[in-house]
Homo-oligomer: A and B are copies of this chain.
Amino acid sequence: MTGLLPGWLRRYRRDLLPGDLLAALVVTMLLVPQGLAYAALAGLPPQLGLYASVAPLLVYALFGSSMVLSVGPVAVASLMTASALTPLADPGSPEYIAGAVLLAFLSGLMLFAFGLLRLGNLARLMSHPVISGFIAGAALLIIVGQLRPLLGVDAEGQSAVTLMVGVVRSLPQLEPLTAAIGVGVLGGLWAARIYLPGLLRHLGLSSAAAALGSRLAPMAAVIAVSALVAVAGLEQRLDVVGTLPAGLPQLVLPALDPALITPLLLPALIIGLIGFVESVAIAQAFARQRGQRIDPDAELRGLGAANVASALSGAFPVTGGFSRTAVNAEGGARTPLAGVFAAVLIALVLVFATGLFRALPMTVLAAVIIIAAVGLVDVAALRRVWRHDRMEGLAFAGTALGVLVVGVEAGVLFGVTLSLVTLIWRASHPHLAVVGRVPGTEHFRNVCRHRVETDARVLLVRIDENLFFGNAEAVQQQLETLVARDPAPDHLVLVMTSVSHVDATALDMLEALDAGLERRGIRLHLAEVKGPVMDGLRGGPLMARLRGEVFLSVNEAFETLAEPERNQ
Give the residue among A427, A441, A539, A540 with the most B Cβ atoms within 10 A: A427
A residues at B contact (CB < 8 Å): 121, 123-129, 284-285, 288, 291, 384-385, 387-389, 392, 419-420, 423-428, 431, 441-443, 449, 464-466, 468-471, 473-474, 497-498, 500-501, 503-505, 507-508, 512, 515-516, 519-520, 530-532, 536, 539-541
A515 touches B288 (CB 8 A): yes
B127 adjacent to A288 (CB under 8 Å): no
* A124 in contact with B288 (CB, 8 Å): no
Given A389-B536, A464-B500: A473 and B512 interface contact (C-beta under 8 Å):
no
Smallest beta-carbon distance A532→chain B, Å? 8
Whole-angstrom distance between the Cβ of A224 and the nearest chain B Cβ: 39
Extra pairs beyond A121-B428, A123-B473, A464-B500 (14, CB < 8 Å): A124-B428, A124-B469, A124-B470, A124-B474, A127-B504, A129-B504, A384-B541, A388-B536, A419-B469, A420-B420, A423-B427, A441-B442, A465-B466, A497-B497
Residues in B neighbouring A423, C-beta threshold 8 A: 420, 423-424, 427, 468, 470
Q: Taking each of A428, A449, A468, which has the highest tally of chain B beta carbons within 10 Å of its own beta carbon? A: A468
Q: A126-B469, A419-B469 known; A291 and B503 CB under 8 Å?
A: no
- How many whole Å from A416's CB to the nearest CB in chain B? 9
Q: Is the CB of A388 within 8 A of B540?
A: yes
Q: A423-B470, A515-B288 in contact; A128/B504 too (CB < 8 A)?
A: yes
- In the docked arrangement, what's the CA distance between A470 and B422, Å? 12
Contacts of A284 in B (CB 8 A): 512
Select from chain B the residue with minimum beta-carbon distance to A388: B504
Look across to chain B and name the residue whose beta carbon is closest to the beta carbon of A381. B504
B residues in contact with A392, CB < 8 Å: 503-504
Q: Which residues of chain B have C-beta atoms less than 8 A from A508's C-beta?
A: 128
- Which of chain B's residues have a CB closer than 8 A to the CB of A288? 512, 515-516
Interface pair A503/B121, CB less than 8 Å apart? no
- Tell me which residues across on chain B come within 8 A of A505, comparing CB atoms: 127-129
CB distance from A486 to the nearest CB of B (A): 16
Nearest CB on B from A258, distance (A): 19
Interface contact A127-B468, CB-CB below 8 Å: yes
In the bound assembly, the distance between CA atoms of A420 and B532 in angstroms comes to 21
Q: How far is the CA of A73 from the CA of B449 in the complex (A)?
A: 52
- Bound-state Cα–Cα, A541 to B443, Å: 32
CA distance A530 to B462 in the complex (A): 13
Identify the 7 closest CB pairs spanning chains A and B, nearest first.
A127-B469, A128-B505, A498-B498, A385-B504, A127-B505, A464-B500, A392-B504
Residue in B427, B442, B498, B539 whose beta carbon sits within 8 Å of that of A387 in the complex = B539
Which residue from chain B places its CB closest to the CB of A501 in the assembled complex? B426
Which residue of B465, B515, B519 contacts A500 across the interface (Cβ within 8 Å)? B465
* Cβ contacts under 8 Å, A124 to chain B: 424, 428, 469-471, 473-474
State how many angstroms separate the Cβ of A288 from the closest Cβ of chain B: 5
In the bound complex, what is the Cα–Cα distance between A539 and B501 (angstroms)?
Answer: 32
A469 surroundings in chain B (CB, below 8 A)? 124, 126-128, 419
Give Cα A265 to B549, complex, Å. Answer: 50
Across the two chains, which residue of chain B brings its CB closest to A515? B288
Which residues of B lie under 8 Å from residue A541 when comparing CB positions?
A: 384
Closest to A120 in B: B473
* Chain B residue with Cβ nearest A443: B442
Residue of B nearest to A384 (CB): B541
Partner of A388 from the list B388, B507, B520 (CB cut-off 8 Å) is: B507
In the assembled complex, which residues on chain B have CB atoms less than 8 Å from the CB atom of A389?
503-504, 536
Of chain B, the residue at the smallest CB distance from A392 is B504
User: In the assembled complex, which residues on chain B have CB atoms less than 8 Å from the CB atom of A388?
Assistant: 504, 507, 536, 540
A507 to B539, CA, bound (A): 39
Chain B residues with Cβ under 8 A from A532's Cβ? Answer: 431
Chain B positions within 8 Å of A465 at CB level: 466, 500
- Measured in the bound complex, the distance between the Cα atoms of B463 and A498 in whole Å is 10
Picked from B385, B424, B515, B520, the residue with its CB within 8 Å of the CB of A125 is: B424
